[in-house]
Amino acid sequence: MRHPLRSVLPAVSALSALALVTGCGAEVGQKDGKAAEADGHYPVTITNCGEEQTFESAPERVVTNDVGITEIMFSLGLTDHMAGYVMPDRHGETTDVPWADGYEKTEWLSKGYITKEIAVEAKADLVFAGWNYGFNEAQGFTPATLEKLGIDSYLLTESCRNGEGKARGVMSPLDALYTDLRNLGRVFDVEDRAEKMITDFQQRIEDVQEQAPKGEDRPRVFLYDAGQDKPLTSGRFAGPHDIITKAGGDHVMKDLEDSWVTVGWETVVERDPEIIVINDYGDVTAEQKEKFLKSFAPLKNVSAVKNDRILVLDYVDLVESPRNVAAVETLGEYIRGNG
């Protein structure tokens, strides 16, 4: 699974401060299964996408799909509980995130789509993926499919369907990240580590918000993902919404009650974004996307294009991941420097 809608390296980050929290290895602050059972931690019941799940012990062979999901596990120090990950390209080896070594500690199972065959061959006891982040009825890969094979599933909260067809989103994007960190903290008995991360993330976002423009001073921001006939963008339930708003921007597609969605160019023109954020992923480079935006006639009078206010962030910064906070910081700095 290459993208949450179809089938990315990160923004400059300041995550090294988390090294003491997340870079210590899975053994720090983590009990083995027997010890955890002895002190009464298990069984654990959590709520994931509206459904209760009970774990009698910590899963030992987790298969993850996509980069943000994989790095949630890495950031919690859970590589010892992973059978491997699926993603088209590896990320993080040359960055300063304290969990980057997770890529070397964990097996890269496939560059293609995640399948039930991959999960079975890896002897997975849990697959951590999401709707359109791996799970997909059209390909016959769903939690129900895995359940028949005796494999549990955990759904990325950003991808939760909300009851309106296949529309996704049940809470704000950063709350979705915090929810998954807390849930996985309980499932793997690393609650203290998860809470320290959340506290750190919340403080860093507060620091950005204190400096961010307010009210009518907030610049209008549009997230451009892909597409030329019609642009793929973010609604209010995908990561860019909180990244934009917490950084001090006014998300021009905040009224869309979904996560990753397609709109018409006329809507973009009408809302006249003052900053465009490009999602850098896939075969079309960020440079190619920027060239298209600047040469596309309908956008010639859009403020962001006229004033050359275009910022590139990476896919892993923009989908739910522990890099979301660094993306808030990066965009916040850009907004303040281009106010």
DSSP string, 65-81: ESHHHHHHHHHTT-GGG
State the Cα–Cα distance between residues 191 and 46, nearest whole angstrom. 13
Q: What is the pTM of this model?
A: 0.89
- Asked whether 192 and 77 are in contact (CB, 8 A), the reply is no
pLDDT digits (tens, 9 = 90+) for 11-39: 434 444 444 344 444 444 444 544 555 56
Identical fold at 15-204 and 214-337?
Answer: yes
Q: Where are the domains of the chain?
A: 15-204, 214-337
> Quick one: pLDDT at residue 4?
64
> Quick one: pLDDT at residue 9?
35
Q: Let me know if domain 15-204 sits in CATH 3.40.50.720.
A: no
For residue 117, how many other CB atoms are within 10 A of its CB?
A: 10
Band of the pLDDT at 310, cuts 50, 70, 90?
very high
Bridge pairing between strands 260-262 and 310-314: unpaired
State the Cα–Cα distance between residues 226 and 208, nearest whole angstrom. 28
CATH class of 214-337: alpha beta
H helices present in 76-160, as ranges: 102-105, 116-121, 143-148
pLDDT digits (tens, 9 = 90+) for 168-217: 999 999 999 999 999 999 999 999 999 999 999 999 999 999 999 999 99
